[in-house]
Structures are given as structure tokens and as C-alpha cells.
A and B are shown apart, each in its own frame.
Chain A
Amino acid sequence: MAVTPDVTDASARLEDLIDTAHRIRASIESVIEGKSDVVRLTITVLLAEGHLLIEDVPGVGKTMLAKALARSIDCPVKRVQFTPDLLPSDITGVSAYNQQTREFEFKPGPVFANIVVGDEINRASPKTQSALLECMEEHQVTVDGVTYALEAPFMVIATQNPIEMEGTYPLPEAQRDRFTAKIAMGYPEPAAELEMLDVHGASQPLDKMEPVATTAEVAALIEAVRAVYVSQPVKRYAVDMVAATRHSPDLRLGASPRATLHLVRSARAHAALSGRDYVIPDDLQELAVPVLAHRLLPSLEAQGQRRRPEQLVGELVRRVPVPDAK
């Protein structure tokens, strides 16, 4: 078979990518034990230019994961602790009057960074939440009529407590839709927890972390992921899968077209991380639950039966037939 230079180039870049991604992964896993799939998904979302929502009970390492990722990449990282009294301008920044220059000066908020960690995002008021979400979607901030572009790459890692917890404002579905994926950390395995005690018992592991990749490298990786090939049947499969959520009687709200976009984008990243320059349905199947579930509203019947959206998506995935070649 004739091998074109393009392909060589692409595979070379792909190998670089895997190498870099593995370094980031190893770095994070040195801090978060026994959660390799969570770590992998985090990197997938990073490479898919998406944003990640981590939901779980306090103390399982949500913030740790976000921070570890931020530390692994040599880039500006900002962290915002969301509280009920947090204001939108606390996130985007304010124009302050400089008495020396007699001009208004823009003081950039914490969103002006490559990675923004929004801790306990559901503790802030909806107004503040939406300020952040706007930045996420548009990659820009508009203050007093002036638009400021955000850094690239730009990733928001938000953590939230389950909505049943006290003192939270649940994210409306329209805003959850902006997050590419939502993951739950889950409690660590006993063995992993034991190891954690040994490693972290005495010191703060985050302090010892060194960046393993640069912003430029990450940008290149993202560029490489964009080149991953998605065949027509796979695109159709993604559309079918999302359409299935819209037609399921168990769901009150199906996934949006944006969800389709996020699904395919993250599938590209997933394929690239697996060393493939093309997407296969397996990528979509693996990502369907984290990418789609948080956008869906189960019907009351399904809620009454205590069926969670994750479960429903899993059932749908089993029902949608895998596309053949044309």
C-alpha cells in the first residue's frame, strides 16, 4: 500500500501526542491513585477543547484532580472558590478607575488563564454561574462593552457537590449542556486508599508536582486531535445515538446538537489517545455516558423507578445498532 507523507506526518504527530498525553497522565496519576479512567477522561476533554464537570461528594479528590491537571501543564492556572456571595465580576474581572492615568483599567478576573478550576460551582448564585458559562462557550469576556479574548487552550474544570447536598444551586440543564463531560470520582478502592495514606499522609503531593508539558505542546496536541478522521458511518452513529435520547420515552429531555458536537470531538481525542488516527464506534460508546448523561432529564416514571440518566444512556447505547460501511 502506498503510504503518503501526510500519513507519516500525521502518525508522527500522533505518536508525539500519545507520548505527551501519557506524561500528563502519569503525572496526574502520581497524585490521584486508582482512578485511571477518570484521569484519561480528563485528558480526553482537555484535548477535545471541552470543559469538565466533576461531581461527587466532598473529599474524594475532585479539586485534587483539577489541580493536578493544572499543575502538570506549564500554564497559568486560576482557581475560583464559588460561594453564594460570589459576583460575576469576581470571575470575569472589573474595570477600575486608575487615578494616576485617569482612565478605567481592566483588572482581569480568574477566567483569564488556560485552566480555570471552579470549585463547588453549584454553591454560587445562578447569575455568577452563568457568567462563567458564557466565557466557556464563547472563549471571551465582555466587560463594559469591551471584549477580551481568553487564552487558548482554555479549559474549565468545575467541581460540584451532588445537588441533594445543602446550600447548592443546581446548574440548569441549559448550562450543564456547556460541559463536554461530567464524571464522578467515586470512592477509591481500599487498596488505593491505603496507598494514599502512605503517600499523602505526611506531605502535600501537589507541592512536589512539576509541569510535564507546555501550553504550546498542548495546543499542538489539540491541533493533532482535530485532524483525526471521522468516517461517515461513525458520524451517523453519533447522530443516531443522540437522536435515541430524544426519542426515548424514559427521557423528558434529550441531548442537544451541541451534545453531538461534543461527542464527536471527544471521540476524536479518545481515538487519538488510543493511538488511532480514526474514530471507531467504540470511542463513542465509551464516551456516551460521560458526555451525554448530564444533559438529560429522565421522565418522572424513570425517576420513580430510580433509574439514573447514566443507566438510561447505557441502555440506549446497547440498543442503537452499530453502523456498517455504506
Chain B
Amino acid sequence: MKLPVAAGLATAAVTITLYPLFEGGTWFWSCIGTILVVTVTGTVASRLGARPWVAPAVTPVAVLIYLTLVFTPDEAWLRIIPTKDSIVRLAELIGSGYDDIQRYAAPVPDNPGIMLLTTAGVALIALLVDVFAVRLRRAALAGLPMLGLFTVPAAVITDPIGWIAFVVAAFGYIGLLVADGRERLSRWGRAVVVRRSSGASRGAAPDTERLALSGKRIGVTAIALAVLVPALLPVLSPDPLFGFGVGNGLGGGGGNIGIPDAIAKLGGQLRQQRNATVLTYTSSDDVPRYLRIYSLDVFDGTKWTLAPLRGRPEDRVSEGPLPPVPGLRPGVAVKRAEMRVTMSEEIDRLHFLPLPYPARQVEADGDWRADRASLMVFSTEDEAAGLDYRVTTEEPEPTLTELRTAVTLPDTDRYLQLPEGLDPRVAALAHRVTADAASSYEAAVKLQEWFTRDGRFTYDVRASGSGAQALSRFLLRDRIGYCEQFAGAMAVMARLLNIPARVSIGYTGGTKIGNEWTVRTHDAHAWPELFFDGIGWLRFEPTPTGAAGQGTAQVPLYSLPVTPTDDPTANPSGGPSSSEDDDAGQSAGPARPNPRQLDRDLDGTAIAADPGTPLPVKIGIGAAAALALLLLPAAARVVVRRRRLRRVTRTAAGGHAAWAELRDMLTDLGMAGEPSETPRALGRRIGERYALGPQAAEALTRVVTSEERLRYAPTPSASGPVPADLHRIRRDLASKASRWRRLGAALAPMSVLLRVRAAGEGALDVFDRLEGLRLWRGRPGGTRAATTPERPGGTRAGADDPARELTLTGARR
């Protein structure tokens, strides 16, 4: 009868892991209620001896009644019997809940719709677990639906689930396995059947305690390892520094390269607590530059992804300069700069080089190739971790005229593609924002201005999603997001305005520390690049910068609205646009000190240098910590001994302290006796076997007698032991023990270790409680066969009962 309960408890334990998805706590009680309904229904079904299919058939009805009672009691008959109205209302709630889930990012408010969806989902999981574990007796398989439930928060949010929640969930599952194993074993019957086995009823059930205990130990050890090992080893960090990676199975000469959801990883990096160094670089002109890793040019309505890359052998960076910069006309002025980049060793599986755009020449060890279209540099074999490379960049420095006259070429179609079913309001918005723009460039500037200033956006890394729906929500409703949303939204709007656009993922220029620029995890960034013919791809920065935004982001100068005074030649295009420019210039022109720039400068100087801890020191600290941990029992022993010796003289019951110390001393030296050894017997044994000297023997007698009288006599003995007695005994005993024993007693005292183990076994009692749980009284063990009549007049008398004999010798059901 324990198995359905264990199944319910396991589901409840896993349900706890949903906590990061919700704002409030009411959903939990609603879920617990539904688990209770499923469990009770299942238990009653088993209790009544129904066939296995009855419970799964009846449970949905019970759940429906429960949902009706909780969510639509007003429409129901007698508040619980579902009616047509109540069913319709439930359906409506489910619909609104579904909409809400689409609309909100986690954590979601627990409004009725979402709660109903959650409760129904948990009921389904509980039912599946019940079916697997109780009806089909496949408790291990019941882990699958639970795992499904467990992956929901893991899939929705990038933060790892709290380890306590994980431990609770794992314990729930192990509890289920233990309950199942126990019941399974108890059905085997006795291993060996002698003609008539012991008449006692408890003899009928096999002794599963030891088996269960080892099972529990394995389970607890597994959980402890699962929690501790990733925490201790930085390599196996549950949220690795870098999740960017390249798909497998690539040919040497090129082929398709996919990056699994680069954008999702970006948010993860930004939200991470730890701000690890990713790379450092120096540049010839000491100007920070954005370092691009990926260029995402395909928007499929759910996310931005990468078109297949081509890395031809002739495009190896070692072969010479990179392929020509797409779209750059020879006449345009460029600024040349050299950078030397050092990647951190800790980066995980990065097959792309972070490079400034457009890179012209890259000197790096390994088979690195450039993609002609995007100038991304990648390798199918080598990794960027620990790499040290040089890169030369030639940034276009177009004049305003060049920018304003730039047009879009027809062959850039792929950078204009948008999925079907994009919210038309987004297009309307894009056109409204850029209504006054005379050229593509001006439209782009307007867009950026709208994002950073007029649109009143809020920067918050907790937002999520970059799909079409998230886009609508971001642009039309919340206006809360971080670089991912800003970059994606601007790129989409630019495409809507017929400006080729793509989203780049990489890092901002970072912070200057000492002589070099340091780029850290929190500098991870996404930004849009827009294409202008004759100039090529230009970076824009719609994300708020500075303290209230992406801290190290920088707005490129060419993307700022220009004032008439700034560039007198830039005014020929006439009336409407120039007046617009005036407005813009008054509010955000570079004539005024740019607050973002100030922040930038501050950031550059305010951060103190953090050289990090060198590896040998780390190893040293680790070793010292390990040593300290190992010596902890010894230290604990010393503390305990001191405290006891003080107590021996100071308190009336000092005899107990002396005795406890004596016992521990013997345990440490490997001279402990059985638990059934009385003080007197112990004294006799030690005195005889180890041939103590007369003084020590006397001291031993004093300790033993004192303890005996304290425990069992009405009055304690007149004179108790003194600390010197214990010292004497210890000296004498230690001289009888081997050297290793003495060393062990000092460094790893068994008395402390045993106590730790006892504490651990105490923790295992959680399982025993779980196993001991019974819904009905009077069926000890639940294994007594039905053929055994309950006999009044003592259980022992039943030993000669022929009916019992039958049960015991016959095979059990």
C-alpha cells in the first residue's frame, strides 16, 4: 500500500522544481491537491483490488472534478459536478492560460489560466507516474514522466535549478525506487523454504532491511556526488562558461556549421553570476572594438540563425588576406588597426574566432578559414580556447554623403527575408518611426535613436525570446529586454524598411585594465549590422549603454544623428529631413557631452585591476583546503577531548565525560568492544588483555566504577575520576597499540568518523519514514496472505495453525 503514496510523493518532489517559473506560491498547493487526488484515487483502486486499468480510467474523472471544484465551482452543479458551462469555462481558462504563457517570460504570475494549465499538466504527470510505478510495476520507467516535468524549468530558463530542489526531486525518485524494490522483494517470499518455517508472522516477510540500506546508501551517495562533483570541478560547471559550439560531422573542406541556439547562450552568459575573463587584447590605436563571433543572417520567426558556412581551403587565413569585404567600394576611406588577442583557456568548445569587423588579415595557429559572405573565421578542428592571434582590421570611415547616397543592391535579397505572419503592426511601427527619413542611412539612424531614446525602452537581462511573438511583445507592449531583443528587433525593422540587416553575436570592446583590454562574460553582446552599398556592413547599437544598459557597449559615431554644424556638406538633400536633423541634433547630437560616453569613460577607469589567481596558488589553496578537510575529524577529536577533560573535574556528572572519553579513546585505538559490553566488563577486558600497569589499572577502575554507579546506582560514587586518570590510561594503552594505530588515532580518529556515519544514517531515516507510511492500520508489512485468518489470543499461538503452515510453505502470490 506504500507504493502509490511513494509515487505521489515523488511527483510532488519533482513538482517543487517548477518554482522558478512562477511568481507566487499558490500554484504549488493547487498541484499538491491534484497529486493528492491522483494518489488517493489510485490507492483506493488498489485497495479495492480493482484491475490495473481501473485506476488510470477513473483518475481523470477525479482530476476533472477536482479542477472543477478549484477553478470553476460557480458554473458547476453542487460546485463539483462538471456541467457544460463549467467545461466551457475550463476551456476558456486553458485558452487564456496558454496565451498568458506565450506572453510572459518566466517567472509568470500564477493567474487562474496558468494555474489550471500547470495543475492539469502535473495531474497528467502524476497519473503517468502512477501507471508506470503502481499499475505496470515499472518504477524506473516512472522516472521518464518525472524527468519530463523536471526538464520544463530547465528548458524555459537558462539559470540552473537550485540544488536543493534537485536533491528533493532526486530523493523523491529514489524513494519511489526503494518502495518499489521493497515491495517487489516482499513478493518473492522466503528464499529458502524449510518444511515449516518459523511460525512468527514477521518471519514470513523476507528481511529486506539490509538490502534497502545498501540501496539507500548508493542512492544518497549518487545524489551527493551529482551535487558536489560539478560544484567542485570547474570543468563540469553546470552552467559552463561557454556553450557556443559547432555541430559534429563536418568535412575538412567546409560544410555546414550550426551553432545550437547561440542567442540562448548569450542570455545565459549575461545573467551568470560569475564574470569570467573571456579574452584580453591590445590594439595598435588603443581603441576598444566589438569582437564578432557569429553573424546570424536568417530569421525564421522563432530565432536568428546562421546560414550554412563555406570554408574553402583557399580561404584559409594562413593563405593570406581574408576575402574581400562585401560591399566595400575601393574609394571609401578605411582606418587600419592591428589587434593582438589572447583567448582564455577556460572557454568551452568555441570553433569561431572573435574578430573585429571587417577583419583583413588573421594570424592564428591552426586550420582557420574565413566564410566569404560574412567574413566569420572558424575551424572545424581547432578550438579558440587559449589561442593567441593577431588580426588586422580596416574599418570603413564613410563620409556622410557616402552614407546618405548608399543604396541597396538587388543581390542582397537573403538579408531582407522575413518570415510569414510577422505582426503587421511591427511594419507599421517601423515606417512610422522612420517616416521622415530620406535615405536608408537616415532611416537606420532614426531606428537606433528610437530604440535608445524615444522608444523609452528598459534594459533587463531577465527577458527572454527573440522570436516573432517575443518581438511583437517587445516592440508593442513591454519594451523590456536586453541586447538580444534590441538587436533582433532593429534588424527585423531594418529589413522591413528594405535595408539588409543581420544580427551579430560576440563581445563589446570590454574594459581597459592595465595595458590591455579585458573582455569578460558580461561583455557578451548582440548587435545589428546594416548593409549599405559601397560601404558594406555597418554596426549599429540600439541597446541602451552605460550603467542602465549593456555596460561596455558603445554607439558608433557614424550612427549618431548629425547636426547641421557638424557637417556643413551634409545638408543638400533639402527641407524635411534637415529640420528633422535639427531636432535630433538638439537633443542627442554629439555637440552635447554624450552621457553614455561618460559612462564608458568611467567604466574604463573605475574598475580596479584584477589579475586573477595564478594556477599554482589555486592548486595550493585547493590542497590546503583538502588537507584542512581531512584533518577536520582530528581537530574535532581534540576539541571534544578538551571539553570532556574540563567537564570531568568541573561537573557533578564528570564520570560520564570521563567514560565517554575512555570509550572514544578505545575506539580510536581499535580496542572498542561490543555494544553489549557493560562498563565493568569493559574494564575487565582492557585490564586483562592489555596488561595495564598498576597505576593505569587503578585509574581504569575509577573511571569504570564511577560510570557504573552514575548509571545504575541510586547514589554516585564518592570520588570520581580525574583528568590525570585518563592521561595515564591513554599513555598505557597507546604504548600497547601499534604505531599505525596511534597515528590513525591522532589523524583520523574513528570515534569522530563513526559519529559522522551515524549522523548520515540518521539522515537516511527519511526513507524509513517513507517506507513505514501506511494508509491503513492493521496490515503489518502488507504482506500477510489473505488465507491467514486473524486469530484471537496471541500471535504465537498461531504457530501451530495448519492454515498458517500452508501459507508459509506455499508459494506466495
Contacts and interface: CB of A to CB of B under 8 A. Distances in A.
Interface in B690-717: 708-716
A188 interface: no
Contacts, number: 82
A119 to B, nearest CB: 32
B795 to A, nearest CB: 10
A300 B711 CA distance: 39
Contacts of A234: 712
Interface in A207-230: 229
A279 B202 CA distance: 34
A300 to B, nearest CB: 6
Contacts of A231: 711-714
Contacts of B199: 252, 299
A321 B714 contact: no
A249 interface: yes
Contacts of B715: 1, 7
Contact of A252 (B200, B207, B718): B200
Most buried by A among B196, B678, B680, B708: B678
The B interface is mostly helix, strand or loop, or mixed, namely loop
B194 interface: yes
A234 B712 CA distance: 7
Nearest to A302: B198
A197 interface: no
A229 B675 contact: no
A300 B680 contact: no
A282 B202 contact: no
Given A285-B676, A300-B195, A317-B676, A253 B796 contact: yes
A147 B681 CA distance: 48
B501 to A, nearest CB: 79
A322 B712 contact: no
Contacts of B202: 247, 249
A179 interface: no
Interface string A269-300: 00000001111111001000000000000011
A151 interface: no
Interface in B714-746: 714-716, 718
A39 B681 CA distance: 23
Given A249-B198, A300-B196, A279 B712 contact: yes
B656 interface: yes
Contact of A280 (B677, B712, B716, B799): B712
Interface string B347-361: 000000000000000
Interface string A284-326: 0100000000000001110010000000000001111111110
A277 B676 CA distance: 22
B658 to A, nearest CB: 13
Nearest to A276: B713
Contacts of B195: 300
A322 B675 contact: yes
Most buried by B among A250, A277, A279, A325: A325
Given A249-B203, A300-B197, A301-B197, A322 B799 contact: no
A318 B676 contact: yes
Nearest to B198: A299
B674 interface: yes
Interface in A88-105: none
B194 A304 contact: yes
A299 B656 CA distance: 41
Given A231-B712, A278-B713, A324-B711, A285 B194 contact: no
Interface string A94-128: 00000000000000000000000000000000000
Q: How large is the interface on A (under 10, 10 to 19, 20 to 34, 35 or more residues)?
A: 20 to 34
Contacts of B197: 299-301
Nearest to A234: B712
A233 B711 contact: yes
Contacts of A324: 711
A251 B716 CA distance: 39
Q: How large is the interface on B (under 10, 10 to 19, 20 to 34, 35 or more residues)?
A: 20 to 34
A282 B203 contact: no
A252 B198 contact: yes
A320 B674 CA distance: 9
Given A301-B197, A317-B676, A318-B674, A325 B203 contact: no
A54 B796 CA distance: 27
A6 B33 CA distance: 66
B582 to A, nearest CB: 91
A142 to B, nearest CB: 26
A251 B799 CA distance: 11
A300 B198 contact: yes
B200 A229 contact: no
Interface in A146-167: none
B198 A301 contact: yes
B364 to A, nearest CB: 71
Given A1-B715, A233-B712, A247-B202, A280 B680 contact: yes
Interface string B655-674: 01000000000000000001
A298 B198 CA distance: 9
A301 B194 contact: yes
Contacts of B713: 229, 231, 276-278
Nearest to B680: A282
B676 A1 contact: no
Interface in A4-54: 7
Most buried by A among B199, B715, B718, B799: B715
A77 B708 CA distance: 40
A300 B194 CA distance: 8
A325 B711 contact: yes
A289 to B, nearest CB: 14
Interface in B174-217: 194-200, 202-203, 207
A324 B676 CA distance: 11
Interface in A179-227: none
B200 A322 contact: no
Nearest to B717: A1
Contact of A281 (B194, B200, B712): B712
B652 to A, nearest CB: 11
Contact of B678 (A247, A252, A254, A281): A281
B675 A325 contact: no
Contacts of B711: 231, 233, 323-325
A301 B677 CA distance: 28
A249 B200 contact: yes
Given A252-B199, A320-B676, 13 more contacts: A1-B716, A231-B711, A231-B714, A234-B712, A251-B198, A252-B796, A279-B712, A280-B680, A300-B194, A301-B198, A322-B677, A325-B710, A325-B711
Interface of A: 1, 7, 229, 231, 233-234, 247, 249-254, 276-282, 285, 299-301, 304, 317-325
**Sorted from nearest, which 8 A-B pairs have the closest CB atoms?**
A321-B675, A278-B713, A299-B198, A281-B678, A325-B711, A229-B714, A231-B712, A282-B678
13 contacts: A1-B716, A229-B714, A231-B713, A249-B200, A249-B207, A277-B714, A280-B712, A299-B199, A299-B203, A301-B194, A320-B675, A320-B676, A322-B679
